[in-house]
Amino acid sequence: MMTQIPLPSNLVEDLRQVEQIVVERTHSRAAVISVAGTRLLAPGSDRTHAALVLLAAYTGNYQRDLILHAAAAVELIHAATQTHDGLVDEADRRHGRVQRGEWNHAVALMVGDYLFALAAGEMALSPDPRVISFYANAVMRITESTLEPLTALQPLEPARAHHLERLSGSHGALFGAACRAGGVCVGVPSVQIDALGRFGDSLGVALRLAEEITDMMTFDGASLRAGVVSLPLIFAVAQGDAKRLTAALDSSDPVEQVWACEQVRHYGIGPTRAEIARLTAQARVALVGVPPGEARETLVRALDYAERRSYGA
């Protein structure tokens, strides 16, 4: 079990309890669920969304039994959306096509739908019905962002704004919902719930941008070779050879692919890091609405992590 957020020691055991709930709910001999268990819900998987539910609750009158089901639900939702995401090939979508992923459509749909049903059961066990509305709204935003037409690479400002808006739906929405859910489960004031949600939205986008940078710096631009649009690519198109770079996205020529990666690293990494800094600063402002204490300090450290991650730390 892992999380990108260093939890206070007294919450580590609670996160293990969340993990146990997820394992129990997904334990089945059905072949479809075994696929999800091995690929998306295996022990040791990232549990950052659940950790945020716990931390958000920790900013109020923390009671473990009130939040475990909301924390388990968000992990099941995350797994479900990742499963359905396998149906969409972003490179092909740039040409108006949808291609089968590694799983066939029937299996991916069955797995995803089953996980959503499990998540609904967990939400129903939460102490506040607003948990359901927060998560439902996040799933709607994720779906809309995933199926929305991909970002045009230029001109720069509309491309940048559109890409960030898509990331806010596809990544920020569930982080924000997790934070809001943790707050409502322990009855924090509405203004604090809103502050937690805005923090989560910004953190989710910042972490995704850090992943876009990491992909370009560490994994030899795998997403670029797959034709996936990223913010570093958008900045590179604006400052470099836009025509050749756009053509390289559809090229199988390794020389062009290497050149494209170098262009994106040269022109795109710095401005994307600046965007992450802007988002984390925005999240820090949101945290002013959260009472000071160990929970808020831990949330600040999550922002520090996002910034360090963009430098490979």
Give per-residue pLDDT as tens, 207-233.
999 999 998 887 666 777 777 889 999
Which carries the bigger pLDDT value, residue 70 or residue 39? 70
Contacts (Cβ under 8 Å, ≥6 apart) of 139: 77, 81, 116
Q: Give tens-digit pLDDT for 51-89.
A: 999 999 999 999 999 999 999 999 999 988 887 666 655
Q: Are 287 and 187 in contact (CB under 8 A)?
A: no
pTM above 0.85, yes or no: yes
The string of DSSP letters for 265-288 reads HHHHHHHHHHHHHHHHHHHHHHGG
Question: What is the pLDDT at residue 111?
Answer: 77
Q: Give tens-digit pLDDT for 272-285.
A: 999 999 999 999 99
Q: Give tens-digit pLDDT for 135-174.
A: 999 999 998 988 887 768 889 999 999 999 999 999 999 9
The mean per-residue pLDDT over the stretch 289-302 comes to: 95
Is the predicted pLDDT of residue 98 greater than 70, yes or no? no
Is the predicted pLDDT of residue 266 greater than 60, yes or no? yes
Q: Are 203 and 283 in contact (CB under 8 A)?
A: yes
Q: Are 180 and 56 in contact (CB under 8 A)?
A: yes
User: Which domains can be identified in the chain, with CATH numbers?
Assistant: 9-309 (1.10.600.10)
